[in-house]
Amino acid sequence: MVRSTNESSLTSFILLGFSDHPQLQKALVVVILVLYLFTILGNTIIVLVSHLEPKLHTPMYFFLSHLSFLDLCFTSSVIPQLLVNLLDPMKTITYGGCVVQLYVSLALGSTECVLLAVMSYDRYVAVCRPLHYTVFMHPRLCMALASMAWLSGVATTLVQSTLTLQLPFCGHHQVDHFICEVPVLIKLSCIDTTFNEAELFVASILFLVVPVSFILVSYGYIAQAVLRIKSTSGRQKAFQTCSSHLLVVIIFYGTILFIYLQPSKSKYKDQGKFVSLFYTVVTPMLNPLIYTLRNKEFKGAVKKLLGNILGVNFT
C-alpha cells in the first residue's frame, strides 16, 4: 500500500460508533457481551457436534459447521474492539488494527453471502431431487462448493480492501461507524472516489444481488415441489427441511442489503449503525438457535455426546 506524505502521520482511527448516544453505551456493553458469549457457545457447539457425531456427517451439517465457524470468526473480528471502544472515551483503533479488521470482516462477510447461496442449492437438491441427493451432494462437490465460497470471499477482500486503503485520507481519521468498513472509509478520502464507489456497487451486486437471486430461484423450485406433495405431513417435512435456512437468509440479507445498497449520502446513518449492529451481533447468535431449536436430530446428537462425556443416559 502506498500512502501519501500528507497522511504519513496517520497512525490510528477514531471509531465514533454510538458516541452520539452516550446514554446507550453502557447498556450496549452488557447486551453485546451477553450476545457475544451466546454466539461463541452456540456456534462452537454446532461445529463440535457436527464433527464428532457420525450421524451428522451430511452435506447440510457440513455447510452448517462452515457457517458457524464463519460466524465465530466474524464476530470475534469485530465485537472485542467494539466493546473496548464503548468503554474507551478515546475510541481509537490503530491503523494496523483497522486494516486487519477491514480485511478479515469483509472476507468473512463475503464468504457467508456465497455460502448461504450454496446451502440453498443443498436444500433444493434435498427437496426436489431426494432420490439422487447422495449422488448430487457427494463429499467432493461439497468440499468444492465450500472452497469456492471461501476463495471468493478472500478474493473480493483483496481487491476491495486494497483499493480502499490506497485512497489518501489526508489526515481524516474519524470513522463514523463502530467498525472499519469499505463504505465508511471511502467517505474519509479527500479525492474523487467515483471509481471506488462504482467498484463497491459492482461487488455488492456480485455478492448480494446475485446470491439472493440464486436463492430465490432455488426456493421457487422448492415451492413448486412442495405444492406437488399431496400429504400434509409430507409438506410439513419439506417445509421444515428449508425453513431454518430461509429464515437465516431473510435476516442476514435483509439487514446487509440495507447497509450496502443504500445511497452513499443517505440521511439514515444512525439507523444504518444499528442495522449493522444487528447483523454483526444478533444474527450470528440467532443462527444456532434457528438451526437447532426445532431440530430433533441435532438435539439428540447433543444429548448423546453429553451422555457419553458425563456417563449419563438422557433418553
Q: What is the CATH number of the domain that holds 289?
A: 1.20.1070.10
Tell whether 4 is covered by a domain: no
Per residue in 77-124, pLDDT tens?
999 999 988 888 888 888 899 999 999 999 999 999 999 999 999 999
The pLDDT value recorded for residue 3 is 44
| Cα dist from 233 to 98, 152, 230, 236, 237, whole Å | 51, 39, 9, 5, 6
Please answer whether residues 264 and 201 qualify as being in contact, where contact means their C-beta atoms are separated by less than 8 angstroms.
no
Q: Which three cell numbers stand for residue 25?
A: 453505551
Tell whether 177 is covered by a domain: yes
What is the total count of domains within the chain?
1
E strands in the chain? 12-15, 92-94, 174-175
Q: Which tops the pLDDT comparison, 83 or 298?
A: 83
Per residue in 131-157, pLDDT tens?
889 889 999 999 999 999 999 999 999
3-class secondary structure, 294: coil
Residue with cell 490506497: 166
287: domain range? 10-310
DSSP class of residue 131 equals G
Residue 69: pLDDT band with limits 50, 70, 90: very high
Per residue in 152-177, pLDDT tens?
999 999 999 999 999 888 767 888 88
Tell whether 160 is covered by a domain: yes
DSSP class of residue 281 equals I
Residue with cell 451430511: 58
Tell whether 176 is covered by a domain: yes
Tell whether 5 is covered by a domain: no
Distance of CA 94 to the CA centre of its chain: 24
pTM of the model: 0.88
Q: Tell whether the torsion through CA atoms of 219, 225, 227 and 233 is positive or negative.
A: negative
Q: Tell whether the torsion through CA atoms of 100, 101, 102 and 103 is positive or negative.
A: positive
Query: Which of 20-24, 180-184, 216-220, 245-249 comes out lowest in average pLDDT?
Result: 20-24
Question: Percent of the chain scored above 90 by pLDDT?
Answer: 36
Q: What is the mean pLDDT of residues 241-259?
A: 80
Tell whether 299 is covered by a domain: yes
Question: Percent of the chain scored above 70 by pLDDT?
Answer: 89
CA atoms within 13 A on the CB side of 19: 15
| Cβ atoms within 10 Å, residue 278 | 17
Query: φ and ψ at 75, to 5 degrees?
Result: -65, -35
Mean pLDDT of the chain: 84
Tell whether 315 is covered by a domain: no
DSSP class of residue 175 equals E
Tell whether 2 is covered by a domain: no
* CA-closest candidate to residue 20, choices 314, 271, 254, 190: 271
Strand order in the sheet with 174-175: 92-94, 12-15, 174-175
3-class secondary structure, 126: helix
The pLDDT value recorded for residue 309 is 73
Q: Tell whether the torsion through CA atoms of 31, 32, 34 and 38 is positive or negative.
A: positive
3-state helix, strand, coil in the chain (%, to 5): 75, 5, 20
Residue 7: pLDDT band with limits 50, 70, 90: very low
Q: What is the DSSP string of 9-65?
A: T--EEEE-TTTT-HHHHHHHHHHHHHHHHHHHHHHHHHHHHHHH-GGG-SHHHHHHH
Please answer whether residues 273 and 178 qualify as being in contact, where contact means their C-beta atoms are separated by less than 8 angstroms.
yes
